[in-house]
């Protein structure tokens, strides 16, 4: 992999904790895809699948508006051949994992994953 997993996870968490969508997106390829069950709630028309930076930006911007106290604490980082899993705890204390696949040093595919037994894992507020 072209990145240092621990350094990447630290920069990723710092960008999220600063609520800096552009800093998070800087790690993503222009044609990246991202999936999340939360995306399906925030932007139902996507079915939870976002394609390209513009769509991902729109989702994350809307998501941050719904979670003003968003904060991630990295609990573990797992590296594969071309992928990285960042296990973290969010502002509600829910354990979450982000699965990221890389190509050329950039994220080409990402998946937000949440526990199946948690009713509102993100802590998002309606409206």
Tens of pLDDT, residue by residue over 12-64, are 999 999 999 999 999 999 999 999 998 998 899 999 999 999 999 999 999 99
Q: Please check whether residue 60 lies inside any domain of the structure.
A: yes
3-state secondary structure of 120: coil
Q: How many helices (H) and strands (E) does the chain have?
A: 4, 6
Query: What's the domain count of the chain?
Result: 1
Q: Which domain holds residue 85?
A: 5-113
Q: Are 28 and 110 in contact (CB under 8 A)?
A: yes
pTM, 2 dp: 0.89
Q: Is residue 120 part of a domain?
A: no
């Amino acid at each position: 992999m072209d990145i240092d997993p621990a350094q990447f996870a630290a920069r990723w968490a710092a960008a999220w904790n600063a609520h800096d969508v552009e800093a998070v997106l800087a790690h993503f390829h222009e044609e990246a895809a991202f999936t999340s069950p939360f995306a399906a709630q925030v932007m139902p028309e996507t079915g939870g699948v976002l394609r390209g930076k513009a769509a991902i930006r729109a989702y994350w911007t809307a998501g941050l508006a719904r979670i003003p106290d968003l904060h991630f604490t990295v609990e573990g980082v797992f590296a594969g051949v071309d992928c990285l899993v960042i296990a973290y705890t969010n502002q509600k204390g829910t354990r979450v994992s982000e699965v990221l696949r890389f190509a050329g040093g950039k994220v080409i595919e990402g998946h937000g994953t949440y526990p199946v037994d948690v009713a509102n894992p993100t802590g998002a507020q309606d409206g």
